[in-house]
Amino acid sequence: FWVGSNGYLGFTNGQISAPFNSIPNVSGAQNFLAAMACDLLFDVSNAAECWRYVNPTNDTLIVSWINVPFYDAVTPAGAGNNTFQIILSAVDSSITYQYQVQSGVPAAGTNVVIGIENNSGSIGLQHSMNVFPPVNYAIKYYYPSNTTYVVNDASTSYNDNTETGGLFRSRNGSPFTMKTSVKNTGNQNLASYNVFSRVLNAGGGTVVSDNKMTIASTPGQTENITMTNTFNPTIAGTFRYVTNTQLPGDATPSNDQKVQEIVVLDTTVTAIRLSYDNGVEAGLGGLNWTGGSGGAAIYFVPPFYPAKVTDLYTYIVANPMSFGYSMVVYDDNGSGGAAGTKIDSIYVTAGSIFTSSWNNIVLPTPITVNSGGLYVAWKMNGDGLTLGQNQVPPFSNRTFEILGSTWATYRYRETEDLMINIGIEKIPVSGAGINEGALANYFGDFYPNPSSDLATINYDIPFNVKNIFYQLYDIQGRIVKLSSSDLSRNNGKLSINVAALDAGIYSCKISVDGQTLTKKLVITK
């Protein structure tokens, strides 16, 4: 589950923020418990706390919001005070909200909702709307002793990673494995059903697709699925990895599909720009926060290691009051991969900002990324400064919003990307000392495999090499084919004509400047 700073628990990773709508509502986030969903503020300048407790028998969860004020654009620390909690009990399957302190109202007005909503947004129980609860008050939802309500529902939880976060891949690099997680989100046992995955190009054409049947499942059960077919990134461009559950009579079609953005880049060029947007600003006036103390960020994972970050880019829509802004880079070594150590911070003066345009910041000291990724944050230093928004799908699901010192999932991440990019370069290193385990990161697998004609393997090596050659061995260890000449490119593909070879299992030993890697190849007739 996810704890929302705005007074709710979510069971999918979506944000609930102002304006707070009535319950139920099919728009926005679903599948949540709203104890006091309103514009609250956690910041280092106030005393707000949030705690969770699980009892020793593991049948009760308590999440408490303590001394949390309302967001106030005029008062940085917030105004008012609220202390309340949510209690989930497996003993009687109940949900309880308790309120100890409630004073003040948000500066923007009394906009608050209390209730529960299901995973489709079509069913919910609203306790109250735009009325704050009294102190020393409790609300308890009981599960009915008998129910005839039947829900047959399967959903796609995520593609590839738990955020269905976008990826950058190297053209002619290793194949992309289509992995997904599905869940029985109904209240009935489900028989096996089909899961359909495919990768689509920018025009909507299918590049690769596959199907797999699930196992039978009980309510709440998840299953991780790996498709057999893989996506070979031979063409640069933006692709969509789409997965659908295909349960007959599915109750909630809106949760059947997940879409992941995959950006394939030509990494043979010197300067490489990582961008999830297509460069088209939405024309909505840009993103900003009233009071001028907010910001936004994007998480970037480079398509190769080591990578050298050389440039930061932001698209600024407007700056009517001539304020500057800061660009801050964070390591992803925080809790659970969140933004952690600050790596660099650069202030951009008002006089150097171009509006309705990209602004390029060259890092005085480039940042080397050897693993994982980094967060790049844009932080306002005054009111009215606006960041570009891109609403052309697919979307990265890598965006965050920043209010004061508090980070949260960007509230519109499923319908837009924010226009922050970075520039990277490869770091020329010697191949000496690279072992087989490291080489495996730079080579894909043979495709098609099994093969009866031409078998191909893509590779993308992030350092200069002198030669690459291969030797193909049969099951008796005899060399049956070898490269006729050395290959000196560090990015491309290696193709082997196997039409004249007998059916069987073969081993291909690939040598890179004296270091070797072995790949299996099956030949059929």
Could you tell me the two tokens for 298? Answer: 């994007």
Residue 321 and residue 419 in one domain: yes
Give me the CATH number covering residue 171.
2.60.40.2550
Residue 342 and residue 412 in one domain: yes
Please indicate, yes or no, if residue 250 is contained in any of the structural domains.
yes
Residue 409 and residue 309 in one domain: yes
Could you tell me the two tokens for 157? Answer: 């939880």
Cis-peptide into 320, omega within 30 deg? no
- The pLDDT value given to residue 443: 86
Please indicate, yes or no, if residue 147 is contained in any of the structural domains.
no
Q: For residue 422, what are the contacts with CB-CB under 8 A and spacing of at least 6?
A: 273, 274, 300, 309, 311, 312, 313, 376
Residues comprising the chain, all counted: 525
Looking at 377, 393, 426, the residue that finishes a domain is 426
Could you tell me the two tokens for 74? Answer: 């005029």
- The Cα-based distances of 334 to 88, 224, 422, 488 in angstroms read 28, 26, 21, 40
Looking at 426, 445, 477, the residue that finishes a domain is 426
Please indicate, yes or no, if residue 317 is contained in any of the structural domains.
yes
Please indicate, yes or no, if residue 146 is contained in any of the structural domains.
no
Give me the CATH number covering residue 443.
2.60.40.3080
- Cα(507)–Cα(157) distance, rounded to whole angstroms? 37
- The pLDDT value given to residue 444: 85
- Cα(115)–Cα(136) distance, rounded to whole angstroms? 18
Q: Are 453 and 493 in contact (CB under 8 A)?
A: no
- The pLDDT value given to residue 249: 95
Classify 115 in phi/psi space as left (phi over 0), alpha (psi -120 to 50) or beta. Answer: left
Residue 246 and residue 338 in one domain: no
Per the structure, how many domains does the chain have?
A: 4
Please indicate, yes or no, if residue 148 is contained in any of the structural domains.
no
Residue 249 and residue 309 in one domain: no
Residue 129 and residue 235 in one domain: no
Please indicate, yes or no, if residue 444 is contained in any of the structural domains.
yes
Q: Are 173 and 142 in contact (CB under 8 A)?
A: no
φ/ψ (deg, to 5) at 459: -145, 150
Structural domain for 261, as ranges: 154-265
- Cα(36)–Cα(231) distance, rounded to whole angstroms? 45
Could you tell me the two tokens for 449? Answer: 């495999």
- The Cα-based distances of 380 to 70, 213, 239, 296 in angstroms read 21, 49, 32, 9
Residue 322 and residue 441 in one domain: no
Q: Are 236 and 201 in contact (CB under 8 A)?
A: no
Could you tell me the two tokens for 493? Answer: 């593909």
How much is the pTM? 0.77
- The Cα-based distances of 46 to 80, 293, 333, 472, 520 in angstroms read 11, 15, 25, 67, 60
Q: Is the dihedral of CA 10, 11, 14, 19 positive or negative?
A: negative
Please indicate, yes or no, if residue 75 is contained in any of the structural domains.
yes
Residue 310 and residue 387 in one domain: yes
- The pLDDT value given to residue 286: 95
Residue 159 and residue 115 in one domain: no
Q: For residue 525, what are the contacts with CB-CB under 8 A and spacing of at least 6?
A: 452, 502, 503
Residue 299 and residue 379 in one domain: yes
- The pLDDT value given to residue 268: 86
Residue 291 and residue 398 in one domain: yes
Q: Residue ranges of the chain with pLDDT lower than 70?
A: 428-438, 484-489
Q: Are 482 and 469 in contact (CB under 8 A)?
A: yes
At 305, the amino acid letter reads Y
Please indicate, yes or no, if residue 149 is contained in any of the structural domains.
no
Looking at 384, 401, 426, the residue that finishes a domain is 426
Q: For residue 43, what are the contacts with CB-CB under 8 A and spacing of at least 6?
A: 76, 77, 78, 403, 404, 405, 406
- The pLDDT value given to residue 467: 78
